[in-house]
Amino acid sequence: MTTTTFTNTTPIIIPATGDVGPANPYPSSIVVSGLTGSILKVTATFNNLSHTHPSDIIALLVGPGGENVILMAGAGNGFDIVNVTLTFDDEAPTPLPENAQIVSGTFQPSNYEISTAPIPPAPPPPYGSTLSVFNGTNPNGTWNLFIFDQFEQDVGTMASGWELNITSCEP
């Protein structure tokens, strides 16, 4: 069993236009290669996330085989967040708060609402609710993070990109 970290440090602008719509880049990708065996566990981390209304954010993680999970949707209400680091882990004690300030920490994937589904090339619903949807699959290939802003007027960034931690078992 080994855990390997893969990182994309390219900043993500949410949304790209300051209006409803996709972030830039859309999607943000991480290519995983060289792992043997299947996935036992995946965690995802957003580095230096800021947004003027975080409940606008939909964050969808899609694995190389098409499995997917909503990491964040409808969380944090209108409480501005500035440079928070969020790790998503099924084993975290709680989800993100729905109607309270989001602070840096480790949380369960948190899907409170999707008013507008992410646009293609993101896959259409249904979406998974836990990172365990990736367990037992091949970790190698392109992982895509689709960030979509559901409502107008609010903007944000993921200034330092994101990362995946993949624990895999030997074949």
Pairing of strands 162-168, 2-8: antiparallel
Max CA separation in the chain (angstroms): 49
Dihedrals phi, psi of 2, to nearest 5 degrees: -135, 150
Asked whether residue 16 carries a pLDDT value surpassing 70, the answer given is: no
Binned at pLDDT 50, 70 and 90, residue 3 comes out as very high
Average model confidence (pLDDT) across the chain: 94
- 123 and 4 in contact (C-beta within 8 Å)? no
- 164 and 32 in contact (C-beta within 8 Å)? yes
What's the confidence (pLDDT) of residue 83? 98
Span of 28-42, 93-107, 139-153 with lowest mean pLDDT: 139-153
- 83 and 111 in contact (C-beta within 8 Å)? no
Asked whether residue 28 carries a pLDDT value surpassing 70, the answer given is: yes
Binned at pLDDT 50, 70 and 90, residue 37 comes out as very high
Determine the topology of domain 2-168 in CATH. Jelly Rolls (2.60.120)
What's the confidence (pLDDT) of residue 114? 80
Asked whether residue 161 carries a pLDDT value surpassing 90, the answer given is: yes
What's the confidence (pLDDT) of residue 171? 67
How many residues are listed for the chain in this entry? Answer: 171
What's the confidence (pLDDT) of residue 21? 87
- 47 and 159 in contact (C-beta within 8 Å)? yes
What's the confidence (pLDDT) of residue 17? 66
- pTM value surpassing 0.85: yes
By the 10 Å C-beta count (0-12 exposed, 13-18 middle, 19+ buried), 136 is classed as exposed
